[in-house]
Structure formats: structure tokens, C-alpha cells
Structure 1
Amino acid sequence: MEPMMCPFSDPHSRDLEGDIPLDGKDLDAITDETLATLLESAPVLHDTKVVRLSQHLVMKGGILTPRTQYFATKGYLMIDFIAGQPLGECWNDLTYDNQRQIAMQVADMIKEMQSVAILQPDPLGGGPFRGRFFIDYSVGPFKDSVEVQDWFNHKLDICKRVNQCPKDIPPFQFGKLVIPHHDTSPRNLILDQDGKVWLIDWADAGAYPPAFESVALLAQQFFTGFNEAVLSLIPQFPEEERQLDSITYGEAKPCRTQTIHTRRSITSSVHPTSSPSRSTLQDAGMLPPCSRNSRKILSPSSPSPSPSNKTFRTKQKLAKAQRQNRPIPQWIRLRTGNTIRYNAKRRHWRKSTLKV
């Protein structure tokens, strides 16, 4: 890596006189394709990127993302190859000055995305809502911002009910909506050979409140130096950040053994007086529906497992007894309504009826 990465600026871009691409030309006659080309060819005022179009015009844009070349509904897309290395693999090896320059580039990207106001909350491309503040099997889609706001307030009410957040947290009231990337991390940044970073993996991006970005950075457990450097350069939203942090108790990811994922709180910790039931969290949309026995994810319409859990455990005990060569009476039989259960304390088999 080069010793120092400095923002590039073309001296010609600051000329008060001289030949600049659109001098003396009618802007209305310039096509969008020409303007896009000028973003790469016009004199650069600042490399994140601002270019000089004429004596009186500049153009800003150019968040570095690979260009999508092909997209299909079968689950794949084709994008540009960026010659470089993942920032997550080399971040710790960079000098402080280089890390600071990269943090400034990322902060400029975030500020650029937060300068775009959007009316309707929505993931990029539409469809269900995904990301840090939504459960991984997705929620929605929602009709409007009121429905999204109600969903967040429902999560907040559940967290208050089970004593997992302070009672004085106010309800959500979404105002300005921007485009948070929602997963800005060195693992999603590519550092090219010129010292510029490219932002990839936009799966969680969408139209959300600007605090989503800063809370997502605060919540990341890795690359804390990167997170702190970027957070020091972007706008902060203390009240909204406190609201979003208060509902993180219900963030969960479905897996073979279902667990509730919590993270280090950025507000004062709250200790529960009682543990919430699983059904309470499922009703709140915080956990996916799971079978009681295997904890595997079930669809709402899935039939209950058969045989029943009691019968299943009884068969397990019987098989264990048989493996250990314990004496079993000849009249033992297993069927739905007439099950034999082994009493470990009295060391004999007891006949019982199970409802399945």
C-alpha cells in the first residue's frame, strides 16, 4: 500500500479562465449519457466526486459501486470486477493516516446518501423489509410509512412489556427518509489500487431514517476502529439511536437451534424481572414460528409433528432400555393410545395413556 492516500484534485478544475467542457453550451441540450461521461472525464474538484462542468457549474456524484451488467430473477446478477482487496483483510495493516482517509471517503458516501430525501419507506427493489432492525425471514411489505412506524412501535411495546428497555422511550415518529446502506463495514468495502473504496452488498439498503446507518455502525462488533472513525465524521441522531437500540432485544436470526441474539447496549442496561414466553416474541414478530421439539423453522400452515413429543420421548427411553438389556415385560407394546413408560426411580415399566 502506498504511504499516504490524499484526495485528488485537478489544478485545472479551479481555473477561472480556460476551456472547461460545457462552457458556452446549453445545458438543456446535454443528454444524460453525456453528463454521466463527464463525471469521469471533466476536471476533478474532489475525488469523491465533484467535477467542474463550466465556469458556473459543478456536478457531484460518483459513490463508487460496481456497475450492474446483468440481472435476472433466477438469483444472480453480473457486476463489474474491481481490482483490489477487501478492506476487511487489510484494515489493520494500514497506517493511521490511510485509515483516516478511507473513513473520510466512507463518511462522504454516507452523507451523499443521506442528502437524498425519499417519501416512501421501502427496500431497494421493493418487497419484504430486511436488515438489522428486521427479522431475517423478513417482514412486510408495508403500504406506507404509517404501517412501518406501527410495526416498530409494536416491537417497542413488547420490549417494554418484558422489561427489556426503559419505560421512558418515546414512540417512533419517522420523519425524513434517506438511503442507509445498513451494513457499511470493511467486509463490504473493496480498496482499489488507487486507494479508493468501493461499496458493495446492498441487500439491506433501502429508504429508512438516517439513524439506521449510525446505529448499524454502533452495533457492529468487529472493526471498532473503523466504526468509530466513520461515526466521528457523520451526523448523529441521539434520540433516534436510543429508540432503535431499545428494540434490539427482539432481533433474532432463525437457525437450527433458535436463540435470541442480543448485543452490547449503547444505553443503560435493563435487567428483566421475568423471561418472556416464546409465544409472546412470536406474536410480536420477533421470532419465527418453530416446532417445540426440534426448533426448526415451520411455516404457519405446517402440521404438528407426529408422533407427539411425549410418545417420541417414550420410544427413546424404551430403545435405551433395550440397548442396556433391561428386563422388559412381554406385554409391552407401543401404540398411539396405549404407551408403556419406564419409571427410572422404581425401575419398572408403567402402563399409561397419552393423548396425541
Structure 2
Amino acid sequence: MDGTDTDAHASNLRHETMTDVEIIDYCANPPSKAQAAIPLGGFCNKVIPISRQAVVKYGPGVRIEEFTNLQWAYQHLDPSIVRVPRPYRFFQRDRYGYLLMEYLKGTVKRSITDISQTGKVGRAISHFSSFRSHQPGPLGGGGVSRGLLWSEGTTTEYSLCGSIERLEHWFNRRIKHESLSLSFKRCTFVLCHLDIAPRNILWSEEDSLCIVDWASAGFYPRIFEWCLLDIFQGKDGDFQGLVKETMEPLADWEQESSQLIEKAWGNSVRFHYPPTPPPESNVAVWMNAEY
């Protein structure tokens, strides 16, 4: 998955018949040919090939929402525009989650500045935006909103239950300004990946792309995708700026909202906000999204 000859590190095990215990033991003591585990971010999650068909992603930051997000994305996205790994199964043991998924071959490029490639990333994001929901939250329905935008970690406030009020509550209490507030009631909730970065893009030999790491994905205002690109502008060279050039520009009101979202994100990084009860009026129970 990182451009090396990872086939050489794959075993001949069959993920279809391996038990949970066998998978846990394999991850705890991988054979020498599978030692090329790929570290993923600050959660110390890893990816290890099991065979030429499957890898297992495991660690304290691997949660059920990533599995259900991946299921949804695999079932609905057009593979001629963007591929995603097929999810096989998920289970949890103590603090660790284990996600078995398809082993897709490709190269991760540390820097993506080629206009044709950033154009393909932009096309994928546009494709994402064609899928919509009336309610915010993870793609699979229900669950906890996770990822870089929710920088404090998991609290009960992230369980949106499909409620726009809960989403507004999380951001408005972090804006820390009496005369400023966000409203998402005029927003359309579209599929957002929320971690578009070179490290999460695999390029095939044909230069088609596969986007991985769906832990943060969900139905949110399209402004959220813009905000993450803004927040991490320059972290991957010119990548974020080039991708934004391929996206539909924000309207004036969306630009104002994005500034407040980024302000709330910055405050959530600087300060601790103990969980407070979100508004319970009109809190909707998650229903199947209409696409």
C-alpha cells in the first residue's frame, strides 16, 4: 500500500476462515515477512497484509464507524471515479479494533502537485457531494462522529443522532463569542471524507486513485471538507490549495460559516470543553438517509 513490494510480505492465510483469536495473535506476533506494518497517524494504528487479498487495520483508533463508513462507500461510489477497499469484517477486543479489508495495490505519493492528479482528487470530491442526506452523522447511520475536525476525542456530544441541533451545539459553544453563532439549517448534508491528504490516496499503475481511511467520513455540510483543507493548508506542500482550485467555490455565507467553524476548531484545540447536555428538543432518531 505504500509503493513497496508488499506482496512479498503477505502470508498465505485465508481471511475468510481466520477466527478473531487467530487474527489477534497474527497482529501481535506477525511473521517476519509481514513486519512491514504501516503506521497510521497518532493513534498508533497499523496495517498488516494477511494475504494477497486482504489486510487488517488494527489499533486503539480503529472503530466500528470506520467499518460502516467503508461499507457504505464501497456500495455506493463509482469505482471508475474513485475506488475504496472492500470491507470484510470488523471486531473489537478491549481497546483495539480490527478491520479486515481488501488489499488494494498502489503507490502513496508524499507530494501531489500534478494538475491531472489533483483534478482527479477534485472529481472524487465532487462525486462525493452528489450523495446527500437530510441528517448529519456517519455514513452508516447513527454512531459517533470522529476525526480531525472533532479534535478533543470522543464525547457524548459527537453522537449526533441525526440532529442538526446537536451539530450546531458542538460548534457554537466553542466559538466563544456571544454575538456569533452557526446555523446549519440551510445546509445540504453531503458525503464528506474529511481526511483528504496524499497519505490516504493510493495511485494504481494506470494512475487511477483509491481513497482510504474512512474513519472521519459522514454526511456533513460541504463546508467541512473545505475547512479541513484550509486547516491543513501547506502541510502537504501545495496539495490542499491545488485541490481547492478544482472545487466549486464557497458562497459568501458559506465562507463566513467556514471562518466560524475554523474558529471553533482552533478553540477546541486550545481549551478543554467538558461535555454538556445538547438541546433535546426536536432531536431526531436516525432514519435511513434518502439519496
Q: Is the 8 A contact 1:179 1:208 kept in 2?
A: yes
Deviations 1:177-214, CA, capped at 9 Å, x for gaps = 01110010001111111111210001011111101001
Counterparts of residues 1-356 of structure 1 (less than 5 Å): 61-62=78-79, 63-74=82-93, 75-88=97-110, 91=111, 99-125=114-140, 126-139=142-155, 140=157, 141-143=159-161, 144-156=163-175, 159-160=176-177, 169-174=180-185, 175-220=187-232, 221-237=234-250, 238-252=255-269, 260=270, 281-283=272-274
Measured after TM superposition, the shift of residue 73 of structure 1 is 3.6
SS of equivalent to 1:182: coil
2:9: which partner in 1? none
TM-score (structure 2 length as normaliser): 0.58
- Aligned partner of 1:214: which letter? W
Give ranges in structure 1 of 5+ residues lacking alignment.
Answer: 1-59, 162-166, 253-259, 261-277, 286-356
Give ranges in structure 2 of 5+ residues lacking alignment.
Answer: 1-76, 277-291
Q: What is the rounded CA distance, in whole Å, between the counterparts of 1:128 and 1:105 in structure 2?
A: 30
Q: What is the rounded CA distance, in whole Å, between the counterparts of 1:248 and 1:137 in structure 2?
A: 12
Measured after TM superposition, the shift of residue 135 of structure 1 is 3.1
- Aligned partner of 1:192: which letter? S
SS of equivalent to 1:208: strand
- Aligned partner of 2:109: which letter? L
Q: What is the rounded CA distance, in whole Å, between the counterparts of 2:261 and 2:273 in structure 1?
A: 19
Q: What is the rounded CA distance, in whole Å, between the counterparts of 2:139 and 2:217 in structure 1?
A: 6
Q: What is the rounded CA distance, in whole Å, between the counterparts of 1:188 and 1:109 in structure 2?
A: 13
Measured after TM superposition, the shift of residue 124 of structure 1 is 3.3
TM-score (structure 1 length as normaliser): 0.48
Larger Rg: 1
Q: What is the rounded CA distance, in whole Å, between the counterparts of 2:181 and 2:91 in structure 1?
A: 43
Measured after TM superposition, the shift of residue 284 of structure 1 is 6.8
Q: Is the 8 A contact 1:180 1:210 kept in 2?
A: yes
Higher relative contact order (CA 8 A, sep 6+): 2
SS of equivalent to 2:221: coil
Q: Is the 8 A contact 1:69 1:80 kept in 2?
A: yes
- Aligned partner of 1:82: which letter? L
- Aligned partner of 2:106: which letter? G
Measured after TM superposition, the shift of residue 110 of structure 1 is 0.6
Measured after TM superposition, the shift of residue 100 of structure 1 is 0.9
Q: Is the 8 A contact 1:133 1:251 kept in 2?
A: no
1:320: which partner in 2? none
SS of equivalent to 1:133: coil
Deviations 1:46-84, CA, capped at 9 Å, x for gaps = xxxxxxxxxxxxxx8222111112333441122222222
Q: What is the rounded CA distance, in whole Å, between the counterparts of 1:180 and 1:171 in structure 2?
A: 19
Q: Is the 8 A contact 1:214 1:236 kept in 2?
A: no
- Aligned partner of 1:102: which letter? Q
Q: What is the rounded CA distance, in whole Å, between the counterparts of 2:108 and 2:273 in structure 1?
A: 37
Deviations 1:227-273, CA, capped at 9 Å, x for gaps = 11110011232222222122122233xxxxxxx3xxxxxxxxxxxxx
User: Relative to structure 1, is the Cα distance of residues 215 and 194 closer, same or farther in structure 2, using a 3 angstrom cutoff?
Assistant: same
CA root-mean-square deviation: 2.4
User: Relative to structure 1, is the Cα distance of residues 243 and 282 closer, same or farther in structure 2, using a 3 angstrom cutoff?
Assistant: closer
SS of equivalent to 2:207: coil
Q: What is the rounded CA distance, in whole Å, between the counterparts of 1:133 and 1:147 in structure 2?
A: 15
Q: What is the rounded CA distance, in whole Å, between the counterparts of 1:151 and 1:248 in structure 2?
A: 10
SS of equivalent to 1:61: coil
- Aligned partner of 1:86: which letter? V
Q: Is the 8 A contact 2:151 2:265 kept in 1?
A: no
Q: What is the rounded CA distance, in whole Å, between the counterparts of 2:192 and 2:222 in structure 1?
A: 6
Measured after TM superposition, the shift of residue 283 of structure 1 is 4.0
SS of equivalent to 2:191: coil
